[in-house]
Amino acid sequence: MGCVGRLYNAPMAYKQPISVLVVIHTPDLQVLLIERADFPEAWQSVTGSREGEETLLETARREVTEETGIVLDSNAFRDWQHSSDYEIYEVWRHRYAPGVMINTEHVFSLEVATAQPVTLAPGEHTRFRWVSWQAAAEMVFSPSNAEAIRMLAERICH
């Protein structure tokens, strides 16, 4: 069997049930939302699972770059030292090892100077919008994402 055959038949690596949520915002709290390609009308902030032994900050920076094309130094990210556990949606459980039902999501934020066009990851996201934090909290499908956006307003305004 050639290399292509071996690569094609290689077992899929499972996702780690450890992820980041990065709320990207402007100084006036316009929040970037991206629409999932596999779940139309499902808006969210940047999210993604940790890979290998990378730190949570490395995961946040990699996911922002992959999903938006925004490349900023690690010190631009704020680690909120806040996490929440949630049940993995059934439609995505096949990505995790058998029996894994809970994911721990760690929250970060990233302030950018202005609402700007972003470069979406092909096949992962289809559209983006910059909206007020109030609208963003209502638009996102994930309760933990909505909570983080509401917390953003409290953290920045107080």
Residue 63 CB neighbour total at 10 angstroms: 23
* Separation of alpha carbons 92 and 104, rounded Å: 15
Per-residue pLDDT at 138: 98
pTM attached to this predicted model:
0.90
The band of 158, judged by pLDDT with boundaries at 50, 70 and 90, is: low
Task: Give the three-state DSSP class for 129.
Answer: strand
pLDDT tier, 1 (very low <50, low <70, confident <90, very high otherwise): very low
Give the pairing of strands 102-111 and 77-87. Answer: antiparallel
What is the reported pLDDT for 52? 95
Separation CA 22–CA 17 (nearest Å):
16
Q: Structural domains in the chain?
A: 15-157 (3.90.79.10)
DSSP state of 76: G
Task: List alpha helices for the chain, DSSP H.
Answer: 3-8, 56-68, 133-139, 143-157
Position 156 scores a pLDDT of 80
> What is the overall mean pLDDT for the chain?
92
